[in-house]
Amino acid sequence: MAKLKSICVYCGSSNDVKPAYLRLAQDLGRTLASQDIRLVYGGGGVGLMGACAKAAHGAGGDVLGVMPRFLLEKERIFDEVPHEIVEDMHTRKQRMFDESDAFIVLPGGIGTLEEAVEMLSWARLGLHAKPMAFLDEDGFWDPFFVLMDHIIEGKFTPEDFRASLVHTDTPEVSITALEDRCIVLDI
């Protein structure tokens, strides 16, 4: 089992969501800090992104934000933590990938889904072996797993790819599951 140093968190940027989602994001931020794991995220001060980063920072954890210049105003960078300003979305995603050992996906929208699915597609192509956990308390990501099963039934993706994906309801279990799957770290 590997000790993770940095986890990239993908999550929604909307503030107008059930408070329980924001609480879960805060809980994850605090848990990362307590386990001395750096949070790598999109840099925003809004929605679950802001909730997670502010909680991690407030609990004394390390945080790295990666924000595209054109979104600075819209996603209101959380400037109390180190961040990189990049020129485009692709560079953001690449830098978040480079700086992390594993991924956690909290509830989110199209952006969250896009980021998670792109990392899964890179894994499917054998470009990396960094594990990913989907974290929710209310089955938010169940439909995604139904879709995955549908794709696997159609034989577009092998069965063992499904087994590599974690779906949990607490930050602690997510992190442990990721550490179990993270055999080799480039460190």
The interface with ligand AMP within residues 98-117 (CB under 6 A) comprises 108-112, 114-115
Q: Given candidates 9, 26, 44, 103, which one binds ligand AMP under the rule CB under 6 A? A: 44
| Angstrom distance (rounded) from CA 161 to CA 168 | 17
Query: At closest approach, how far in Å is the CB of 73 from ligand AMP?
Result: 12
**Nearest residue (CB) to ligand AMP, 26 versus 112:** 112
Q: Given candidates 13, 26, 31, 174, which one binds ligand AMP under the rule CB under 6 A? A: 13
Helices and strands: H and E segment counts in the chain: 7, 7
Query: At closest approach, how far in Å is the CB of 71 from ligand AMP?
Result: 6
Is 89 near ligand AMP (CB under 6 A)? yes
**Nearest residue (CB) to ligand AMP, 6 versus 13:** 13
Burial class (CB in 10 A: 0-12, 13-18, 19+), 152: middle
Q: Given candidates 38, 93, 167, 181, which one binds ligand AMP under the rule CB under 6 A? A: 93
Cβ neighbours for 101, distance < 8 A, ≥ 6 positions apart: 2, 4, 5, 6, 7, 130, 182, 185, 187
Is 71 near ligand AMP (CB under 6 A)? yes
Q: Could you tell me if residue 76 is left (phi over 0), alpha (psi between -120 and 50 degrees) or otherwise beta?
A: left
Provide φ and ψ at 116, rounded to 5°. -65, -45
Is 136 near ligand AMP (CB under 6 A)? no
- Residues at the site binding ligand AMP, with contacts judged by CB under 6 A: 12-14, 42, 44, 49, 71, 75, 89, 92-93, 108-112, 114-115
